[in-house]
Structure 1
Amino acid sequence: MCRGEELKGPEVSFLIDALCESYRFERAVELVKQFGSSGLVPLDHAYGVWIKGLVRGGRVDEALEFFSQKKDSEGYFPATVRYNVLICRLLQENRFREVYDLLVDMNESCIPPDVVTMNAVLCFFCKVGMADVAFELYHSRSDFGLSLNHLACKYLILTLCWDGGAEEAFKVLRSSAQRSYFPDGRTFCTLASALCREHKIDEMKELLYLAVGKNFVPPTSMYDKYILALCRAGRVEDGYLVHGELKSVAARTSYVKMIKSFVKSGRGDIAARLLVEMKGKGHKLIRPWCRDVICRLLEMNNSRGRFFNLLEMLTRCQHSCQTYNFFLDGAGHAMKPELAREVFELMQRNGIKPNLSSLILMLHVYLLSGRISDALNFFNGVRRQGLATKKLYVALITGLCKFNKIDISREYFFSMLRVGLNPSLECYELLVQKLCSLQKYSEAIHIINVSQKMGRPVSSFIGNVLLYHSLISPQLYDTCNYLRGAEEGVFSGNSTLCWMIGAFSGRLRVSHYIADLERLVERCFPPNIFTYNLLLKQVAKSDMDKARLLFARMCQRGYQPNCWTYDIMVRGFSIHGRKHEARRWLEEMFRKGFYDENQ
Structure 2
Amino acid sequence: MDHTTSSKLTKVVLSNTNNPKLACHLLKRILSSSTSSSSIPTHHLLQSTRAAMRLLIAANMHHQIHDLCQFILSTQPPQIAHPSLLYLIQALAHSPTHLHQAFSHFKSLRAHFPSPPPPLSLYNLLLHSSLNQHLSDFATWLYSDMITAGIKPQTYTFNLMIQSLCDSGALDHARNLFDKMSEKGCHPNEFTLGILVRGFCRAGLTSQALDMLDKSPGRVANRVVYNTLISSFCKKDLTEEAEELVERMREQGMLPDVVTFNSRISALCRVGKVLEASRIFRDMQLDQELGLPRPNRVTYNLMLKGFCKIGMLVEARALVDTMKKDGNFTTLESYNTWLLGLLRNGKLLEAQLVLDEMIAEGIEPNSYSYNIMIDGLCRKHMLLDARRLMDLMVSNGVYPDTVTYSTLLHGYCSKGKVLEAKGILHEMIRNGCYPNTYTCNTLLHSLWKEGRTLEAEEMLQMMNEKCYQLDNVTCNIMINGLCRNGKLEEAIQMLSEMWTDGATSLSKGNSFAGLANSIHNVSKCTPDVITYTIIINALCKVGRVEEAKKKFIEMMAKNLRPDSAIYDTFILSFCKQGKISSAFRVLKDMERNGCSKTLQTYNSLILGLGSKREIFEIYGLMDEMRERGISPDIYTYNNIITALCEGGKANDATSLLHEMLEKGIPPNVSTFKILIKAFCKSSDFKVAFEIFEVALSICGHKEVLYSLMCNEFLAGGQLSEAKDLFEASLDRFFALKDFMYKDLIDQLCQDERLDDADYLLHKLIDKGYGFDHSSFIPVIDGFSKRGNKHRADELTKRMMEFASEDRPVDRTYQNGKRIIPRKSQNDGGSGWQDIINRDGGSSIALKTLKRVQKGWGQGSISSLRPQQDDFLDYYDGIG
The one of the two structures with greater contact order (alpha-carbon pairs below 8 A, sep at least 6) is 1
What TM-score, normalized by structure 1, do the two folds share? 0.45
TM (norm. structure 2) is: 0.32
